A and B are shown apart, each in its own frame.
Chain A
């Protein structure tokens, strides 16, 4: 980069950071003002008002929602990784026409809009007694995020030469030994990508969760925050407070796992 462009880049970065932070700043000021405080969004509150946070923790039961989100996201992400890697292996390694068809079918699942399956899915789940249960929402989350995971694992597997697996085979290892001792360790970087994408998507999922989880004791954060909005009234301050509280755990996770985030993303990009 030349000397002249440096300050330009710096200014550009500052503008981008400003734009990205603005919504969070406004959410922050909104969360600390009572509903009757109609001062500018840009102005900090004259005195701190904690009623919104009290409401988010009390009426909104946001800590419970965060706990629910951790359970649902944790289990779903784990399953998405395991099932995705298992499914991708034969699809990447054996390109028979059947497997090609299976692959396309799985890929086409990536873009199915949640709404077009909502009503039959809900009916079926209600017959199973799966509405308002952890296992119900986890199975749905796993299925709706599995196709992207299969796609990423398969794409990555195709870039790994088969020689290691063949060598292991020659040494008499069975399929599972090959998978667990040779293939899966190689998948670490792409697994990080899958964990990040699935984790964030599940943590924030709203379209299906808001129907499947209606009771406060099982609700994850997005539907829990939405319960501050109804056609009758809405409480933006409390919703903002709840959203900020719900952001805390992911933000902490991000800061700790930053290196992994980067490494993980190399997966798709390397070679």
Chain B
């Protein structure tokens, strides 16, 4: 009996060992497989380029890319451009692929060509379009060494976005808003049961508000301190105080916590919102709900005595993977896209990212002409991308959120932000 039992356990033990061995064998065969799988399209003529557009499958920009890709394929026999649409989890998806060393040949860098994707992308400063990059993009898209990692098809530029019809009905002149006090007075005027003066999609974009307002509460010295790794609490809290005062005055939409980007666009389109803070894609999205809505934007007031400013940066931009087996073809295709920058920018109703393109902004054109072309308003980069360490966005989101929902005082929220800043700053340097 006894020996029978031990026999059995020996058998089972060996089975367990076998499984372990098989598992290990499975893992160690990785390298071999990777090698054989990768060499398939090293020939120069036949190439399949995986192009992760980062766009929804039926997006207007994606449609424009589809046409251009077909055109390119027709002109270059043997080349296949494999357009891959992105879902909501695009950023997470890219991170997983980069971690696994499985990057697509070309991908959309959506604002992160240097900070996040720089180490994985091919420097493109020698390409024909590199000198034509719009100057306002240079602070964030060109490194100190002069490297540039992506070709920008358009730019993101906005200040305070408004619904012109709502302001007109309430008798507010947007051009007269020069300070946050003026803004509060205007918000007070438009506030009603059906209109939220400030409409914020708390789920994705409460940090977008903070990120825009905060550029006007830091003066130059304080910005230098931030770059050197010292968090300037007073200036940060000043920003939170401004946003908090809107919440207290009842200017913020009641569905703040659950509202999405789509809800923001819809509210703007239907005149349920007077002012919004966010990327310029809110314009296209609002217009997709209501093509007749009158929208515009004004610059952000500064609290430090500086000039009013607009916020802008990289929006859609395409970089080529360093580890691609077809870097030449991929780069050539990106250059081809650069030649068609006007079409691509028009598909997103945004200004082109290259000076060679011409602009077709549709209903936003007057605001752009007034503040960018004529008044030459300074365009500042996104605060977080320059002055906050990589990975701070979510902390900014949550701290702003907790101030708006009264879960934390502005002082506590600032303290929390400082902790995150100190942790992350130490980590990345």
Chain A positions near chain B (C-beta within 8 angstroms)? 35-36, 38, 55, 59-60, 96, 98-99, 118-119, 122-124, 126-129, 131, 210-211, 214-216, 223, 226-236, 238
A228 to B59, CA, bound (A): 8
Pairwise interchain contact A233-B54, C-beta atoms closer than 8 A: no
- Which of A122, A228, A229 touches B100 (beta carbons < 8 Å)? A122
Task: Sample 15 A-B pairs with CB under 8 A, ordered by A number.
Answer: A38-B270, A96-B9, A122-B97, A123-B100, A126-B97, A127-B31, A127-B100, A131-B102, A216-B84, A226-B88, A227-B57, A228-B58, A230-B59, A232-B54, A233-B56
Does B8 count as interface, using CB distance less than 8 angstroms?
Answer: yes
Closest residue of B by beta carbon distance from A115? B92
A259 to B31, CA, bound (A): 50
Pairwise interchain contact B290-A38, C-beta atoms closer than 8 A: yes
Does B89 count as interface, using CB distance less than 8 angstroms?
Answer: yes
Contacts of B316 in A (CB 8 A): 232
A216 to B288, CA, bound (A): 25
Pairwise interchain contact A38-B58, C-beta atoms closer than 8 A: no
Contacts of B25 in A (CB 8 A): none
Contacts of A231 in B (CB 8 A): 88, 90-91, 110, 204, 261
- Which of B27, B270, B291 touches A124 (beta carbons < 8 Å)? B27
Contacts of A122 in B (CB 8 A): 96-97, 99-100, 102
Contacts of A123 in B (CB 8 A): 99-102
- Which of A38, A126, A227 touches B85 (beta carbons < 8 Å)? A227
A128 to B30, CA, bound (A): 6
Closest residue of A by beta carbon distance from B35? A127
- The majority secondary structure among interface residues of chain B is helix
Contacts of A210 in B (CB 8 A): 87, 89, 93
Pairwise interchain contact B93-A38, C-beta atoms closer than 8 A: no
Pairwise interchain contact A127-B8, C-beta atoms closer than 8 A: no
Does B376 count as interface, using CB distance less than 8 angstroms?
Answer: no
Chain A nearest CB, measured from B55 CB (Å): 6
Kindly identify, within residues 285 to 323 of chain B, every residue whose CB is under 8 Å from any CB belonging to chain A: 285, 288-291, 316
Pairwise interchain contact A233-B90, C-beta atoms closer than 8 A: no
- Which of B58, B92, B110, B285 touches A60 (beta carbons < 8 Å)? B58
Kindly identify, within residues 61 to 103 of chain B, every residue whose CB is under 8 Å from any CB belonging to chain A: 61, 82, 84-93, 96-97, 99-102
Pairwise interchain contact A228-B57, C-beta atoms closer than 8 A: yes
Does B343 count as interface, using CB distance less than 8 angstroms?
Answer: no
Closest residue of A by beta carbon distance from B95? A119
Closest residue of A by beta carbon distance from B110? A231
A36 and B290 contact, Cβ closer than 8 Å, known pairs A96-B12, A210-B93, A232-B281: yes
Chain A nearest CB, measured from B112 CB (Å): 12
Closest residue of A by beta carbon distance from B204? A231
A98 to B59, CA, bound (A): 55
Closest residue of B by beta carbon distance from A126? B102
A223 and B87 contact, Cβ closer than 8 Å, known pairs A38-B270, A124-B30, A128-B33: yes
Pairwise interchain contact B100-A230, C-beta atoms closer than 8 A: no
Pairwise interchain contact A119-B96, C-beta atoms closer than 8 A: yes
16 more CB-based (< 8 A) A-B contacts, given A36-B290, A229-B56, A231-B91: A35-B288, A38-B266, A38-B289, A123-B99, A124-B27, A127-B34, A210-B87, A211-B96, A230-B55, A230-B86, A230-B87, A233-B59, A233-B60, A233-B284, A234-B56, A238-B58
Does B406 count as interface, using CB distance less than 8 angstroms?
Answer: no
Contacts of B261 in A (CB 8 A): 231, 234
Pairwise interchain contact B289-A211, C-beta atoms closer than 8 A: no
How many B residues are at the interface, by size bracket? Answer: 35 or more
Pairwise interchain contact B54-A236, C-beta atoms closer than 8 A: no
Does B182 count as interface, using CB distance less than 8 angstroms?
Answer: no
A215 to B82, CA, bound (A): 9
Chain B nearest CB, measured from A65 CB (Å): 11
Contacts of A236 in B (CB 8 A): 262
Pairwise interchain contact B93-A216, C-beta atoms closer than 8 A: no
A232 to B57, CA, bound (A): 11
Does B146 count as interface, using CB distance less than 8 angstroms?
Answer: no
Closest residue of A by beta carbon distance from B36? A129
A238 to B54, CA, bound (A): 18
Contacts of B12 in A (CB 8 A): 96, 98-99
A35 to B13, CA, bound (A): 62
Of A123, A128, A227, A231, chain B has the most CB atoms within 10 Å of the CB of A231
A128 to B291, CA, bound (A): 48
Does B43 count as interface, using CB distance less than 8 angstroms?
Answer: no
A224 to B33, CA, bound (A): 29
A96 to B82, CA, bound (A): 54
A124 to B34, CA, bound (A): 10
A128 to B288, CA, bound (A): 43
Does B37 count as interface, using CB distance less than 8 angstroms?
Answer: yes
Chain B nearest CB, measured from A128 CB (Å): 5
A233 and B101 contact, Cβ closer than 8 Å, known pairs A98-B12, A210-B89: no
Pairwise interchain contact A229-B87, C-beta atoms closer than 8 A: yes
Pairwise interchain contact B8-A96, C-beta atoms closer than 8 A: yes
Closest residue of A by beta carbon distance from B30? A127
List 4 tightest A-B contacts by C-beta distance, closest first: A226-B87, A123-B100, A230-B56, A127-B30
Chain A nearest CB, measured from B97 CB (Å): 8
Contacts of B348 in A (CB 8 A): 232
A211 to B89, CA, bound (A): 9
Contacts of A233 in B (CB 8 A): 55-56, 59-60, 281, 284-285, 288
Kindly identify, within residues 10 to 29 of chain B, every residue whose CB is under 8 Å from any CB belonging to chain A: 12-13, 16, 27
A270 to B88, CA, bound (A): 43
Chain B nearest CB, measured from A208 CB (Å): 11
Contacts of A128 in B (CB 8 A): 30, 33
Contacts of B37 in A (CB 8 A): 129
A159 to B31, CA, bound (A): 47
A123 to B284, CA, bound (A): 37
Contacts of B97 in A (CB 8 A): 122, 126
A214 and B84 contact, Cβ closer than 8 Å, known pairs A98-B12, A123-B99: yes
A232 and B100 contact, Cβ closer than 8 Å, known pairs A96-B8, A96-B12: no
A123 to B12, CA, bound (A): 31
Closest residue of B by beta carbon distance from A234? B262
